[in-house]
Amino acid sequence: MKNKILSDSDDYLLENEPYYIETGDEISIFKAAYEAKLPVMLKGPTGCGKTRFVEHMAWRLKRPLVTVACHEDLFASDMLGRYLLKNDETVWNDGPLTRAVRMGAICYLDEIVEARKDTTVVIHPLSDDRRTLAIDKKGEIIHAHPDFLLVISYNPGYQSVLKDLKQSTRQRFVSLDFNYPEAEKEAEIVSREGNIQMETALRLVSLAGKIRNIREHGLTEGASTRLLIYAARLIGNDIPVHDACRSAICLPLTDDMKLQETLNELIDDIF
């Protein structure tokens, strides 16, 4: 796969279908929102498949996908673009959001609450019926390409007074609720992505189920599907099951000694 400077929308198109198993009616609602030109918000915990779902939908709708991971040092200008000095002249360079708006891509703002406030405000006129993006530094107002779709993700578990999404932002998005898939489906995913037999996958999912149930005892979040896949892959590389579960599931989840003992006992119960 070549690394090239991305200049047109083809570079953002996904070539192969990203593997995704539907767990509710999220595909049809996403399609309806896309048809109705309504922006979409994905809510749910870490590693339950939000990013994969967006990739899958971009492939299905044959739209280029531009992803921006939000963080507290991301300024509006990082998304909109900025002037660079070239041959003694300042030349404008589109940022990822601007590129997406022009080419009619799906623009996915991952973990939007982490972004600076200026970022959230910049997307307001894009996420109501105006569908415009104002680039004040250039004095340019861009009307979004008809196929442009704005998607944001958000983990309600992190919700705090300081990092809450304002109602004036929330009330601009059709929302989809994500959670861990049900046991059968999750095992299918772990088996396929982790490349192990269904039986071991089912046991890993059963372990995850137990861990997710003790969540209130000090675990801020349950074991994600991703971690189950990690464990599966370590097993596939000849690491004993107990060691694999410890390295791929217990240690990433917590630093607390007592909790780790509990988790180790759960592993003993199942394997």
By CB under 8 A, the count of residues binding a copy of itself is 107
Looking at residues 40 to 59 of the shown chain, list those that interact with a copy of itself (rule: CB under 8 A): 41, 43, 46-47, 51
Residue 196 to residues 24, 120, 181, 232, 241, Cα–Cα distance (Å): 26, 42, 18, 6, 12
CA dihedral 228→231→232→236, nearest 10 degrees, is 170
Q: Does 23 bind a copy of itself (CB under 8 A)?
A: no
Neighbours of 198 (CB within 10 A): 13
Q: Does 233 bind a copy of itself (CB under 8 A)?
A: yes
Q: Does 258 bind a copy of itself (CB under 8 A)?
A: no
Q: Which of 221, 121, 114 is nearest to 164 (CA)?
A: 114
Q: Residue 25 carries which side chain, given as an amino acid letter? A: D
Q: Which of 113, 27, 103, 105 is nearest to 62 (CA)?
A: 105
Please select the residue that binds a copy of itself; options are 10, 15, 35, 216, rule is CB under 8 A.
35
Q: Does 186 bind a copy of itself (CB under 8 A)?
A: no
Q: Does 22 bind a copy of itself (CB under 8 A)?
A: no
Show the tokens assigned to 55.
């990739």
Looking at residues 203 to 232 of the shown chain, list those that interact with a copy of itself (rule: CB under 8 A): 220-221, 223-224, 226-227, 230
| Shortest distance (Å) from residue 47 CB to a copy of itself | 5
Looking at residues 102 to 131 of the shown chain, list those that interact with a copy of itself (rule: CB under 8 A): 102, 110-111, 114, 116-118, 120-122, 124-125, 128-130
Looking at residues 69 to 98 of the shown chain, list those that interact with a copy of itself (rule: CB under 8 A): 69-76, 78-79, 83-90, 93-96
Q: Does 185 bind a copy of itself (CB under 8 A)?
A: no
Q: Does 10 bind a copy of itself (CB under 8 A)?
A: no
Q: Residue 66 carries which side chain, given as an amino acid letter? A: V
Q: Are strands 149-154 and 106-110 parallel, antiparallel or unpaired?
A: parallel
